[in-house]
Structure 1
Amino acid sequence: MIRLFRDGARAALMTGALLLASCSQAPDAPIKPKTEFNIGWSIYAGWMPWPYAQQAGIVKKWADKYGIKINIVQVNDYVESVNQYTAGKFDGVTVTNMDALTIPAAGGKDTSAIIVGDYSNGNDGILLKGADNFSAIKGRQVYLVELSVSHYLLARALEKSGMKPTDIKTVNTSDADIVGAFSSPDVTAAVAWNPQLSVMKEQAGAKEVFSSAQIPGEILDLLVVDTATLKANPNLGKALAGIWFDTMALMKRQDAEGKAARAAMAKLAGTTPEVFESQLATTHLYADPKSAVAATSAPALVQSMAQVRDFSFTHGLFKGAASADAVGMSFAGGKTLGDAQHVTLRFDDSFMKLAADGKL
């Protein structure tokens, strides 16, 4: 189930687990250099290069180059992987941009996004029955995982269509139940992600009226690392960048080796090569380090993260915050959003730049 754990159960975590960065941050003891690191991951098409790289020896190749050891550790539940990172059990983790902001960063854990791996380019969608235009959603009950990326997608679609959140009513539905719920004749609107989305599209009368392809670059998938650990161990960042772009170059090949790599990733995800390829088709991978650097340094990233943080604040995900500025973010080029004195989410393109310049 390629994306089953990526956003599911986020809502449950958000309601009680967050502490506001500006009032919870305590001085941290200096982190000493070390030689072994643990990186958590969960199953999603855009993150499967990590376990494949470990299986194929690419992780060892780059770790050996920098005299360190890197363990790529699977966690079966996505939210639990982010929880464990936030609690300090992992040095880094695969995570969406929204969750990086609303879980570790909003909880006071200084976090650096060092790999911008991909964005959802159709993996998330809004479905209606009996209509082929988004405007027909007005007045309907919309089934989705509340406070998830699905909820964010719905909010952006409403905004783009000149509608308000009050024009619809959301019905909180788990990712495990969304397919069954949409099969009921009484349910005529839903928001989902793949693979559930692809199944729901096949139901009678279902039409996709909006997708993440219409907000490119807003739903991002990242590799983040604890900032203090990264500062004390810059070779970790170099090795991770080398691993990622080495694996990207292989999986994008259209020859037998590339096909074999993607098939191995599909197996690691517990799915077929055909399903995995269909997932990749709606995942915009930043396979070239130059494109990843460009995306990370573009003004569009600041704009999209402003939208994400405004959504998060409006829906109470910055628990106890007086404004959306409570959690500070920094970007390539020195731009900041929010409280510059309490920056806890940093988009650091320095290691991707080293890859782009051939200096790893």
Structure 2
Amino acid sequence: MKNRLPLKGVTILEFSQYLSGPSAGLRLADFGARVIKIERPETGDAGRKLAIKNMWAGSDSLLFNTINRNKESAVADLKNEDDRLFIQALIKKADVITHNFRPGVMEKYGLGYNEVKKINASIIYASISGYGNTGPWKNLPGQDLLLQAVSGLAYTTGNHSDAPVPFGLSIGDYMAGSHLAQGILAALIRRHKTKQPALIEVSLLESILDFQFELLTTFYANGIQPKRSEISNGNPLLAPPYGIYKTKDGYIAIAMTNLDVLAHALDCDAILLYEQEHVFIQRDAIKKLLADHLATHITTYWLEKLHRQKIWAIQVLNWKQLRAEEAYKGLKTEQHVELNNGGSFITTRCPVKINGEYLFSAAKAPALGEHNQKIKQEINSTIKKIKSIA
């Protein structure tokens, strides 16, 4: 499959670090692109020391190994003249450049879009910032939790009486990385047709705001922020029963359905005291009745009743339970990835299937500067040309 991947032959220079930019590079590498990380000497990508749950794989964090698998690494000191020539030669051969530094950092080293375009007239230059490249917030730290906080996202999860609740993962980083990859793919298609370069700009704030388009659209329409339900909040915009409820032995998630159908399925006549037209006004009262009723029996008892009436409901699983399910096993979502020390670890594969085939890649994340010599040999003639012109 590797030789048939759609981005085979595309070279990406990744000046990105931490999560957002590298997550875009990861997906493009899964699609067959050659992704070369350009890292600072000695320390490299700061994500090498960003450990999740204090888990390491040799000297680098497990997180770094996860999000940078299937890439190459070259170190370069951008203050060093020879290293700048090395980077210029790489840019001449590259198709795409990505970075997620604060506004002005790449320009400081002569690597802004306008400068790079002089070296490679058809380059696709893609960047992620925290809050955009202009405006009063442009130099604030673009960290995922901070973006969740300032974007209003923390008021979508949890119940009404709860304090603001962040997502339990770096949703802004991953959304921005996904949007950057989408922009790059669109630009590659246009360049294939027109030879035109492109400047792709994404910010974590804009990605998180786009993630909330349903809620923000209602806010723009009436000026009222949707409130989380007091009980079993699933989505601030949706009426009961939408949410997660405790049963006698676990939890159950119930999606959208009319109250009369639900009452019949669950033998819960109490909720028929409320008309369907009042579900938003009486949301919390209805959910309280449901919560009390569902707590009286085990999950499988309720699922059997709900599924008999074709109501959308499912058991809430933890990862251990999920992993034991045949449906999960059939997805083949796990893959082994190599480590520099000869070991391996399990992570998720690319979620996209192409021509009926899953995209697996066991290729390890690179050691810092691992590919410098190989890459310099490949572009040695280009470096000599640049020197002769200079």
Structure 1 length as normaliser, TM-score?
A: 0.24
Rg (Cα) greater in structure: 2
Which has a greater percent of strand? 1
